[in-house]
Chains A and B, each alone.
Chain A
Amino acid sequence: MEFYDLDALPATHQADLKRIRESLDKARAGNARERARRFESYSSGDSAEGALRHVEERSEHLAEPRPEYGHCTNAVCIVGRRSLTKGLFLDRRAFLASYDAAQDPNDEYLAAVLGAVVPVCAGISLEYYFSFVDNDRYGCGTKLPHNVTALVGVMDGHASDLRTGLPWQMVEIHEPVRILFVIETTPERLTKVMDASAPLKQLVENRWIRVAAIDPESGRVHVYRDHGFEEFEGPVERLPVVLSSAEWYGGRIEHLGMAWIQGASVQAAGIPAERGGR
């Protein structure tokens, strides 16, 4: 991690910088460890620092066709207060966007946030979806024979059409599901925003994406089905409770369900376990 203009930092704040650096290093090492667990070539015995080195090394390695898995496996986007997901282990499968309905009485910010978040996340998710379901046609096949052409794209081997979509190495562990947006607001307010935006409405009505609203007051969930919101009913699974995320994912390479990390604050409102994670 690189910091700019450090010479402009007054001496009084050197201690703060040191503290920030330490926190950031700790965070990125923890993050690296969660990312590294999905790689077959990573031995899970490594420490967080070992995982960081592994992740950094593979991002630069000439022979590495999987520098990272990127947004692969992403299945959900949660738009709401961050307290909503605090302490929740999401297995790096969620897009998180901050939004507080209490500060947005006229739903202006909601429209703005959704206008940016929905097309972007839906686009990413669909690209992974289609590249996975038919990798030869919608994806660009295996990376290994790729041939960079005119510095704009790749061909397969000596001569082919320019390939579009994602290579197999990027999507191989993906689960092709339509992305679920969980938005922290009431169904009425969400309907109003959706009705006002044609692109948003098209994405939802034509079922490119799925949408649910979680009430900021009551925590009740409404799911959009067949032109309207219906209250989500069904068994609410109890989340497994663990002391730390490392305890939950340690030594495992497969998809993991959500878990409640006890070490974190548990004041946040919960969402049912069936949502999001699998």
Chain B
Amino acid sequence: MDFTQATLVFVVLAPGVVFGVLALLWLLGWVPPERVISRITGWMFSASIIALLPVLRSLAASGAPAVTVTFGNWFAVHDYRFPMVLMADRLSLPFLGMTVVLSGLIGRFSVTYLHREPGFFRFFLLLHLFAFGSLLAFAAGSFDLLVGGWELVGITSVLLIAFFQQRTAPVENALRVFGVYRACDIGLLAAVFAMHNWAGTASFAGGLPRLTGYRATTVCILLLLAAAGKAAQVPFSGWLPRAMEGPTPSSAIFYGAISIHAGAYLLLRVQPMLVQSGLASALVISVGVATAVYGTISGRVSADAKSSLAFASLTQVGVVFVEIGMGWKWVAVVHILGHATVRTLQFLRAPSMLHDYHQMHSAIGGETSEAGGYLEELFPERMQLWLYRWALDRGHLDTILDRFVIHPLMRLSGFFSGLDRMGLHRPRRERGEVVVPVSSAAPRGARQEGI
């Protein structure tokens, strides 16, 4: 392993090691004071930013396609192998850079923002785990490894939405986000299975698995499902405004910068396969267009700062999806970097919005003029009202999901649970045992103590 490879390994592993050590200390009963956490976080992310420079230099100077580090296989069963390959190429490097720079910035910001907060330690624990997860996802050399990082990003995202766990709303909303994530992750897992099945590998270090025709289309569509869930594209968009329950800096880094663009990264990764499939490309473009239009209309009626920022993010990510579908790979990368930086700043400024407006109004000596009114006037008056109601209910997306997906699923699981009871309990009753009804099997106290 040469120096450049070592630095890449350091960048990816550093937050994971910090998380591991802090978590271990916590399990042993020691919660480090704020000052210690802030020092560790600052040093670690500064070192990571510096450690990316040799990787950048190596790619720029040598013209090599990627810096690759191979650790062999984690395990192998028959024909299946789980390769541990880290890789930084010209696509992952911008994402790695964005992650370390913005995570470091958010870490510094949060030291002040969460000062004296009881969950201070928990927040930083999750921030490090998140940084590790996203670096792993962006530096993975195979889809198998990418899944690991992808899941870590998902779970930290959910845990940070539920950060204020003493109130019910954050926990409920976090659970919903968790549900959407898990449902859409099926796409990613199925795509990995499909690649292994058809191409024998899901590694993309040294080129994507060679698939053509309906196979390429199937894999791309499955990955689109995963990407759309993570990036809150239509029809999954309902969860994004609900995710605004956590502390502001975590909203900034997840839904302004990194997590929201992870889906786009996934599609960029399979872009060479995507361009072969007209159907999949068309689907990516349609999802992007639908999300961009939905985001801009819903964002216009959002009265609160964080929801309107969330919808603004959606609009931009929708446009990024369109760019990817059109095959404009590098336009999409530049768009993502620019969007992530600006949106993070906007999220961080959101709590001072009243102050900002006062300053702006006193500087221009009056109120700002209303923007965007000309767009409304393009529609007839009855249409305007209808559109307003539609946008106010966020396109009824949540209601549609509730009615046509969640409720039928619940009924189905109720049906199976009934079958279960019939099959399992009858013989015992015949034996004369006391049967505890399933609904009351869990003591009430257990529910209240939970979470």
Contact = CB atoms under 8 A, between A and B. Distances in A.
A144 B353 contact: no
Contacts of A133: none
Interface in A78-98: none
Nearest to B115: A41
B109 A62 contact: yes
A150 B244 CA distance: 16
Interface stretch (A154-162, A206-214, A215-223, A265-273): A154-162
A210 B156 CA distance: 51
A254 to B, nearest CB: 15
A64 B349 CA distance: 11
Contact of A155 (B109, B117, B304, B353): B304
A7 interface: no
B242 A158 contact: yes
Interface in A132-153: 142-151
B414 interface: no
Contacts of A156: 164, 167, 169, 245
A155 B305 CA distance: 10
Contacts, number: 86
B112 interface: yes
A172 interface: yes
B351 interface: yes
Given A62-B109, A65-B115, A156-B169, A144 B243 contact: no
Contacts of A64: 112-113
Size class of the contact patch on chain B: 35 or more
B113 A144 contact: yes
Chain B interface secondary structure, helix, strand, loop or mixed?
helix
Interface string B226-254: 00000000000000011111111100000
Interface string A170-191: 0010000000000000000000
Contacts of B348: 62-63
Contacts of A61: 112
B198 interface: no
Interface in A99-152: 142-151
B109 A63 contact: yes
Contacts of B305: 147-149
Interface string A8-33: 00000000000000000000000000
B120 to A, nearest CB: 11
Nearest to A65: B113
Nearest to B240: A158
A237 interface: no
Contacts of B170: 145, 157
Nearest to A64: B112
Contacts of A226: none
A233 interface: no
Contacts of B114: 144
A2 interface: no
B169 A158 contact: yes
Contacts of B286: none
B306 A144 contact: no
A147 B169 contact: no
Contacts of B112: 41, 61, 63-64
Nearest to A61: B112
Contacts of A150: 303-304
Contacts of A160: 169
Contacts of B58: none
Nearest to A149: B304
A142 B170 CA distance: 14
A151 B117 CA distance: 26
A168 to B, nearest CB: 9
B362 interface: no
B37 interface: no
Contact of A158 (B248, B306, B351, B357): B306
B117 A142 contact: yes
A247 interface: no
Interface of B: 109-117, 163-164, 167, 169-170, 173, 241-249, 303-307, 348-354, 357
Interface of A: 40-41, 61-66, 142-151, 155-160, 169, 172
